[in-house]
Amino acid sequence: KAGVTQTPRYLIKTRGQQVTLSCSPISGHRSVSWYQQTPGQGLQFLFEYFSETQRNKGNFPGRFSGRQFSNSRSEMNVSTLELGDSALYLCASSQQGYTGELFFGEGSRLTVL
């Protein structure tokens, strides 16, 4: 069974640009969560989608948004990039319900210059 796939793995953007990151969950998994990992703030929850609906949202500004498609694939978008958005963005999928048994992808490393 293929794991969680995130694309792109690495990308460099400049301030003010926007970026879209993609996540393909494990087949059969309906929940997709996104986390931001930085050296200063650690791992912080961004949002979770389940069956195309946002189920939970973390404490991030509205520049951060996401969506989930009918095939459970998810995208997150960050608009008007700031230097502080440089981070590893991790996607995690879960089979069902609320268990916290998350399967993480390898992440998309975003550098904002």
Partner 1 sequence: GEDVEQSLFLSVREGDSSVINCTYTDSSSTYLYWYKQEPGAGLQLLTYIFSNMDMKQDQRLTVLLNKKDKHLSLRIADTQTGDSAIYFCAESNDNAGNMLTFGGGTRLMVKP
Residue 21 near partner 1 by CB under 8 A? no
> Residue 100, by phi and psi: left (phi above 0), alpha (psi -120 to 50) or beta?
left
When the beta carbons of 42 and 62 are compared against partner 1, the nearer one is 42
Q: Which of 105, 110, 112, 113 binds partner 1 (CB under 8 A)?
A: 105
Enumerate residues 6+ apart whose C-beta is below 8 A from 108: 6, 7, 8, 9, 10, 11, 21, 88, 89, 91
Residue 1 near partner 1 by CB under 8 A? no
Residue 53: CB minimum distance to partner 1, A: 13
Q: Point out which residues bind partner 1 (CB under 8 A).
A: 4, 31, 33, 35, 42-45, 48, 55-56, 58, 90, 92, 94, 97-107
